[in-house]
Structures are given as C-alpha cells and as structure tokens.
Amino acid sequence: MSAQELKVLLIEDNPGDAFLMKFYLGESTSPLFQVSHAETVKAALELLSENTFDIILSDMNLPDSFGVDTIKSILSKFPGNLVIVLTGLTDEEVGLETVRYGAQDFLTKGKFDSKVLISSVMFAFERFKLNKQIDSFTKKLDEENSRLDTIQKLLNVGYIEYDVKTKNVFRSDYTLKITGQNPDMKTENIDDALGRAEDTEALKAVVQKALTEGGTGEFTYRRKDNGKQFRVRYEAKEGKLCGIVQAV
C-alpha cells in the first residue's frame, strides 16, 4: 500500500528557514510531502491559481506582506484552504490573531523539530478535514430541512415525531404554526404534550396501541384551551411514531 501524499505550499522568504522546513518535511515517510516553495505572497497566489494544495505553511512577514495581512491576502482570494502560520519568537500573539482570521494553527520557529512539525501538520490536516465533513453534512441537512418545510407548506401539514426512548415529542416549525404553539414547544415530554388535549387518557391509549401494533393509522384530538381539532396520520415502527398533523 503506497504512502499518502500531501501537497504543501511553503511561503517563506528566509533561505535558511525554507531549507529547514523542507528538510523536516522530507523526513516523513508516511505521509509523503510534496513541497512547492514561494518567497512572496504574489508568487504564492500565482501557484494557488494554478495548483491545488492540501496544506499551506506560511511565514507572516514577507517582502510584500506583513503580519495578519498575509493570511487575509491568501484566504480572501483562496478561501477554504488549510493555512498553518509560521511565527517568530516575538510574534506568538499575532499568531493567535491569525487563527481568528482563518488560519488553522500557528507554529513558532525554533520551538519544533521534524517530529513536532509533522505531528502538528497532520493534526491540523485531520481536524480541517473533519470540519469540512461537518460543514458538508450541515449543509445537506439544511437543504433537506428546507425541502421538508416546502412540502409541509404546500400540503398545509406539519411533521410530528414521538420517540419512546427519550419520551419526547418533536414538532416541526410548521406544526407549531398550524397548532398555534410557541417555538419553545418544538420538543416536549410526551406527558406534557398529551396533557394539552381533551380525553388525555384515551389519547395515551391510542398512542400506546399504535406503538404496540405498529403500522399506519390516524387519530383525531381536540385541544383543551381553544377546542381546535387536529388529525394525525402516523406510521409506528421501531419505537417511534412519526406522522403529519392537519387542522380539521
């Protein structure tokens, strides 16, 4: 099985520091680092426009850029890149500031050897990948929720779900709108939820029977406070009762 290869863009104008960084990265056998070198932000941006890099290691103080502006220049033109900042001994506070502007981490020159550099780079790389996966999942979830909201509005129905394990009832935003309930009632204990309906005990029996027998069905309930009536069409399986709510 071949070793993982990662493309690194090293932005460093000091020849000695650049040599040392390449040497340190070259000691790694897994992963293997393929290093491209730029001495200025301008040269780095040109390389970024033509290539894709897994990791960017950048000094902050370069001939054409200084301090936090270096990171801003890179990430404003090429957002979504993993940047690790290289700082001098007197620049650690500025290094922390670069993290607030999008850098993943910072390393202080003279305070690391090859093992520390490689482990720090790989930790930042894995964390960066995980964050991107989380962002991707969150985006997909938001898209699915948006589709669900659209369907509910078109059909004028709300979604409701009861989980036996947690004993909680979940209501979608559109369910809250249809039933005239507050946003803080999106998740509620089953006893509190059923307690808002007339004939609470009878309704509890209906829910219990649905969960015991499984399958699909429907029931109607009336609210105590305003007398409004709602129909629930449900499917019960695996300890959950999922359904749609509609005003009658």
| Residues forming beta bridges with residue 87, ordered by sequence position | 108
**Angle, vertex CA 202, rays to CA 198 and CA 208, nearest 5:** 125
Mapped onto helix, strand or coil, the DSSP state of residue 79 is coil
pLDDT of residue 14: 94
pLDDT digits (tens, 9 = 90+) for 2-44: 678 999 999 999 999 999 999 999 999 989 999 999 999 999 9
Give the closest residue to 20 by CA, choosing from 103, 111, 120, 124: 111
Mean pLDDT across 106-130: 92
Taking phi first (over 0 means left), then psi (-120 to 50 degrees means alpha), and beta for anything else, what does residue 215 get? Answer: left
Q: Tell whether the model's pLDDT for residue 96 goes beyond 90.
A: no
Tell me the percentage of the chain whose pLDDT exceeds 70. 98
Q: Which own/partner pairs from 123-132 qualify as long-range (CB within 8 Å, at least 24 positions apart)? A: 124/55, 124/82, 124/84, 125/6, 125/54, 125/55, 125/82, 128/82, 128/104, 132/80
Region 163-182: mean pLDDT is 92
Q: What is the pLDDT of residue 162?
A: 94
121-149 pLDDT, tens digit each: 999 999 999 988 988 888 998 888 888 88
Q: Is the pLDDT of residue 1 over 70?
A: no
Q: Is there a contact between 180 and 228 (Cβ–Cβ < 8 Å)? A: yes
When comparing pLDDT for 69 and 88, which is higher?
A: 69
pLDDT band at 188 (very low <50, low <70, confident <90, very high): very high
Residue 220, classed as helix, strand or coil, is strand
- The dihedral through the CA atoms of 6, 12, 15, 21 has a sign that is negative
| Type and span of the H or E element at 247 | strand 240-247
Rounded to two decimals, the pTM is: 0.66
- For residue 244, what pLDDT is reported? 93
